[in-house]
Structure 1
Amino acid sequence: MRIIIGLCVVAFLCFESPSMASDKVMVSTLLDEMISFEKATEFPEPYYTCKMVSSYDRRTVSPDKDWWYANDDGFGCMRVDTVQGRVEKVMFDYDGPGAVTRIWMSAHAKNGILRFYFDNEENPRIVIPAYDMPRIPFKVGDALSLIHTNYTPEGLGGNTFMFPFPYQKNCRITFEELDKNRNTWGPRYYEIEYRTYVSGTEVETFDVGQVNTHTMQEKIQDVNKTLWNPSTFKGGKRCEFAMDIAPNHTSAIDLPLGNHAIRSLLIDVNCRKGDYAKMMRQLILKITFDGKETVWVPLGDFSGAGLGAPEVNSWYMDTDGRGHIVSRWVMPYKKNAKIEIENLFEFPVWMNVRAHVSEWEWSKNTLYFHTTWKQERGIEITNRYDDHKGNHMWNYITIDGRGVFRGDLLSLFNYAPDWYGEGDEVIWVDNDIFPSHHGTGTEDHYNCSWAPVVPFHTPFGGAPRADNPSSHGFNAFVRTRNLDGIPFQKSYKFDIEMLSWNPGKVDYAVTNYWYGDLNSKVKQSSGKEEILSQLPYLM
């Protein structure tokens, strides 16, 4: 049964999508893109690929060969060079036009020297006297240089560096070990994500002097403030309902016709009876654009929180852990759109759902917003890192079609006694022969290090839930992508190795956030049968 109650109030003038002009790529334009909700809706022009190089175990060469699950992930590099008498491990060396968009690093010790070379120059433009990005010789602010929760200046822990490094011809990043004894310094973990633009794209190569100017430092400060305090659009046409939704009933809002976009979505839930965690899993958000449902997800998972719907503070999503949710994902459509909430919970739920909608100028690169959800219970995890036949991958999502991947939430229950996330993520894009993203561990993908983890929040996601120091029980990780969004023209596939410290089982529920054409398809997702499954911890 469906009840449709909708109210739209005109509160502001229309908004047009950003220009598609192919301007020069510079630090300043990349920072502007990073804090543009609107830009995230576009398939990139000029086109670029997003790939990642990491310190993954180099015995890993193919899924059908031994050592695919090899886990000595702290010693891999591209090669070793001798430069002016120095021995330098080459961590990154790619030709442009391009831009480094994310550098994740962690280690047992930070002694050594990092060097950044640009455009095939003999001398580095950046020298850092440690395996430690926070010591870079200019200020970027704490939103662009994320210190991990277990970081110490001299020893354990790491950092995720989100400040971009554009380059026209080439960028090379190396590390010199001052102590040659591997047993002294131990593993050096890293992940470096980068864009490669189509040939002919004009890029202004990174320059320390330009970044240190007063004008640029002011801009960097403003970007930091904006990332920590994102503005929620409250103008446009306000469309909402406020009512009790009975069990097994649906309430909906039909949005204004024609070229428009949902600019923000605010939802308040009041649980008068029953268990809050179970309710937030059994309220289903559905959004249909131009006749096709592209969003189907439990409300607590849509918020980036997962089971229990705890607090989240991030760029795209906020929730206070008590039923107030704010979404800043921009969702364009051409003809019509509808927002629905279906109540699969056993009691009536009072809800207020409010969308702020503005007019939108559609272009050939405008994409639809998609959110898909998948759950599997009783997945085996193992610690047989070198046993090819004894391990397996688990698929987050497989997409056929064109789009840009923008983030994921992993919400889980861990039956094993301790850390479940030793496995690496691997992402296959379009015609990849080897995955264009091969990570170094689950927590590394989610911008932290050294499991188990504790709850934390950043503009780019975090760990909303970690109930036990051992990681047994409930856990949740969320990551959203700004400059590190991954475009795909034909297909996108995200798998993760199911490796752990000790054998056991996990229940995984994954929410994926992405933009794509209306006909882009997900191969496998979950529905009501998983929502209503008898999870022992929600009974």
Structure 2
Amino acid sequence: MGMISGIFGDLTRVRDARSARSSSWDHTGRNADPWVIAPGQTVTLADIEGPGCITHIWMTQDCRRTVVDRVVTDPDYYRKVVVRMYWDGQAHPSVVAPLGDFFCLGHSLVNSFASLPFTSSVRPEQAYKFGGGAALNCYLPMPFNRHARIEVTNENDVPYRQYFYVDYELYRQDLPADTAYFHAQWRRVNPTSSWDSRVIVNSPEADVANLEAESRANYVILEAEGQGHYIGCNISVTNFQGTWWGEGDDMIFIDGETWPPSLHGTGSEDYFSQAWENQETAFPMCGSTIFEGRKPGYQTSYRFHLVDPVRFAKSIRVTMEHGHGNHSANDWASTAYWYQTLPGVPFGITPVAERLPIRLGDLGVLPMLAPGTIPAHPGGANAEMQLMSARHRQKVVDRDAATAAESARLWSEAQQWSQENTTQARDVRRRWLGEA
């Protein structure tokens, strides 16, 4: 062990490792760098043989759809694209989360923030916009011994464009036996249960005793089995009630213990290391990426236990009251992050229709009008109207056919380049190890 310590201490020592990257670069040498991911399709962003460790992930993306004659940003696509990560040949993924929520952006809203493990950078006019443009970064280390695979699945009905970097290191020696593998899981309950959602937060009527039986109604952030450590979460709340949504105590149960748990908190904002509700701050270990004061009804906050990980030997259950005593009925979603030994208990994700964000009032999102909702023209359409209507319908058919053909071509390129990236990663490893 070297004498120099601290978070930058590793930079002062030479290591026998090889750095490499899998990215969306244009393999023709031109500048068309995004991959176009077709509707309903999965593409592999990185397919790497180990031993190694992913050290950084960068992504930026966009998704457009046509409404009448306008091309608009799809406001929900950050919840329609799913990220999955697999380690060492496991049949089930260790990471399953919507793209936005994985990077701490809930509700398919974007904003700039900087925490230690995650950052987001958006142009000022994109801030607090549903489906807005954002540059996303993750710096959490993701070790693997034999194999790593990162995928994205487009569960939308239109294509979207994905730029990405996956930076990693390769090692000659196997990782230590006590290596813990990165995990992330998204959950949602909409709405949360309530014994009486009309009760006002912090009123005498809300001050019920939440003991063993009542704590079972807490919102569950994480349930995992195995040995490892929980390193934090983000929580997104859509507030239906128009008052403070918090005051819910965090309760973390370790290795099957009963109430009271080893870690019992004092309130939602207290768990996020804030006080007197939330503030518009984004610190290295705690803060808010979406602040309700800027976007009424929407909040996303994070807390990372990077210097105080919550360790467990057999199991962990991370929970929080939704309002004191679980009296508030709101939309809660969360992404939990943890490291543990393999294999873990398999988990999945809810269907796309159950992941979509809820809109509160008129927030400037162009409505998608369903057929039959527009009143008929008085007296019916005359001949010219019918002709123009038919012409417009044909233009739409022609436009959609051309768009589909171009999307198919670009999707074919993305599949080809994905395979070439895999081949390149194997070639880098082979050359570095001196294999024939």
TM-score (normalizing by structure 1): 0.53
Q: Who is 1:178 aligned against?
A: none
Task: Determine which of 340, 351, 355 is the counterpart of 1:528.
Answer: 351
1:460 counterpart = 2:258: no
Per-residue CA deviation, residues 280-319 of structure 1 (Å, 9 max, x unaligned), is 1111111111122111111111111212132221100111
Which residue in the other structure is 1:441 paired with?
267
Aligned match of 1:316: 117
The answer to whether the aligner puts 1:408 opposite 2:222 as a matched pair is: no
The answer to whether residue 313 in structure 2 is matched with residue 489 in structure 1 is: yes
Alignment partners' CA distance in 1, 2:340 and 2:138: 18
Give matches, 1:103-182, under 5 Å.
Answer: none
Matched, 1:281 2:105: no
The structure with the greater share of residues assigned to strand is: 1
Tell me which of 44, 47, 61 is aligned to 1:255: 47
More helix by proportion, 1 or 2?
A: 2
Cα 1:494–1:534 change in 2 (3 A) is: closer
User: Which residue type is aligned with residue 153 of structure 2?
Assistant: E
When the two chains are superposed, the root-mean-square deviation of aligned CA atoms in Å is: 2.9
> Residue type of the partner of 2:48?
P
- The residue type paired with residue 400 of structure 1 is E
SS at match of 2:78: helix
CA distance in 1, matches of 2:9, 2:110: 26
Equivalent positions of 1:57-456 (< 5 A) are: 236-241=19-24, 242-273=34-65, 274-275=72-73, 277-292=75-90, 293-307=93-107, 308-321=109-122, 322-360=133-171, 361-381=174-194, 382=197, 383=199, 384-386=206-208, 388=210, 392-430=217-255, 432-433=257-258, 434-451=260-277, 453-456=278-281
TM-score norm. by structure 2 comes to 0.65
Report deviation, 1:236.
Answer: 1.2
Deviations 1:85-111 (A, max 9, x none): xxxxxxxxxxxxxxxxxxxxxxxxxxx
CA shift at 1:343, angstroms?
Answer: 1.1
Q: Which amino acid aligns with 2:186?
A: W
The amino acid of 1:249's aligned partner reads Q
- Residue 320 of structure 1 deviates from its aligned partner by 1.3
> Which structure has more RCO (C-alpha within 8 Å, separation ≥ 6)?
2
Q: Deviations for 1:465-495, whole angstroms, at most 9, x for unmatched residues?
A: 12347x9511111111221111111011111
- Whether the 8 Å CA contact 1:37–1:330 is kept in 2: the answer is no
Q: Is the contact made by 1:397 and 1:493 (CA closer than 8 Å) also made in structure 2?
A: yes
What one-letter code is carried by the residue in structure 2 that aligns with 1:324? A
Cα distance change, pair 267–336 in 1 and its aligned pair in 2 (3 A) = same
Question: C-alpha distance in 2, partners of 1:445/1:525?
Answer: 26
Q: Which amino acid aligns with 2:236?
A: S
Aligned-pair identity (%): 22
Structure 1: gaps spanning 5 or more residues: 1-18, 39-234
- Partners of 1:483 and 1:516 in 2: how far apart? 16
Helix, strand or coil for the counterpart of 1:457?
Answer: coil
- Structure 1 CA distance for aligned equivalents of residues 230 and 353 of structure 2: 24
- Quote how far apart the aligned CAs of 1:400 are: 0.9
- How many residues matched? 313
Q: Distance in 1 between matches of 2:75 and 2:236?
A: 13
Distance in 2 separating the partners of 1:486 and 1:286: 24
Unaligned runs of 5+ in 2: 12-17, 25-33, 66-71, 123-132, 200-205, 368-436
Q: What letter matches 1:238 in structure 2?
A: R
Question: Cα–Cα, structure 1 residues 446 and 249, in superposed 2: closer, same or farther, change >3 Å?
Answer: same
